[in-house]
Chain A
Amino acid sequence: MKDRFRFDAISSLAAPVRSSKPKQAVPVRSSPTASTSRQLESGPLLVVVLLFSCAMLVPRGAFAEAGVDDAGADDSSTEEDASDEAGASEVPLACDGGLCDTTVGSTTCAMPRGTIHGAPSAAAICVVLSVVLARRLQRRATEQGR
Chain B
Amino acid sequence: MRAALVWCGLGVVVGIAAMPRSARAAEPAVDVVVRDDVPPPRRILSIEWNPLPLFAIGKLSANVVIAPIDHHALVLSPFYTSTKTEPVYIFDDAGNSTQLPKQTFKGFGTEIGYRYYTGKGGPRGLFVGPSLIVGSLTATAQDGAKTHFVDMGLAADIGYQMLVTDRVAVSLGGGAEYLWPSKTIPRQQFPSRIYANRGVMPRVLASLGWAF
Contacts and interface: CB of A to CB of B under 8 A. Distances in A.
A3 interface: no
B98 interface: yes
B98 A90 contact: yes
- Prevailing SS type, chain A contact patch: mixed
B90 interface: yes
Contact of B100 (A64, A96, A100): A100
A111 B186 contact: no
A22 interface: no
Given A82-B97, A91-B97, A91-B98, A98 B143 contact: yes
Most chain A CB within a 10 A radius of its CB, from B98, B103, B142: B98
B99 interface: yes
A131 B43 CA distance: 43
A67 B88 contact: yes
Given A93-B98, A93-B100, A100-B101, A111 B88 contact: yes
A11 interface: no
Interface stretch (B59-67, B167-175, B187-195, B200-208): B187-195
Given A99-B103, A99-B139, A102-B103, A85 B97 contact: yes
Interface residues of B, number: 32
Contact of B141 (A68, A78, A99, A103): A99
Contact of A91 (B87, B91, B101, B184): B91
A87 B179 CA distance: 39
A101 B186 contact: yes
A104 B89 contact: no
A87 B95 CA distance: 11
A8 B93 CA distance: 78
Nearest to A83: B99
Contact of B92 (A94, A98, A109): A109
B89 A82 contact: yes
Contacts of A64: 88
A27 interface: no
Contact of B96 (A79, A86, A93, A95): A86
Contact of B147 (A75, A99, A110): A99
Interface in A59-90: 64, 67-68, 71-72, 75, 78-79, 82, 85-87, 89-90
A110 B145 contact: no
B8 interface: no
A108 B90 contact: yes
Contacts of A32: none
Contacts of A16: none
B86 A71 contact: yes
B88 A110 contact: yes
Interface of A: 64, 67-68, 71-72, 75, 78-79, 82, 85-87, 89-91, 93-105, 107-112
13 contacts: A67-B88, A68-B87, A82-B98, A85-B96, A90-B98, A93-B101, A95-B186, A98-B147, A102-B186, A103-B187, A108-B93, A109-B93, A111-B89
Q: Shortest 10 CB-CB distances between A and B: which pairs?
A: A98-B141, A98-B145, A110-B90, A91-B98, A101-B186, A102-B85, A103-B187, A71-B87, A90-B98, A82-B99
Given A79-B99, A101-B188, 4 more contacts: A71-B88, A100-B141, A103-B189, A110-B90
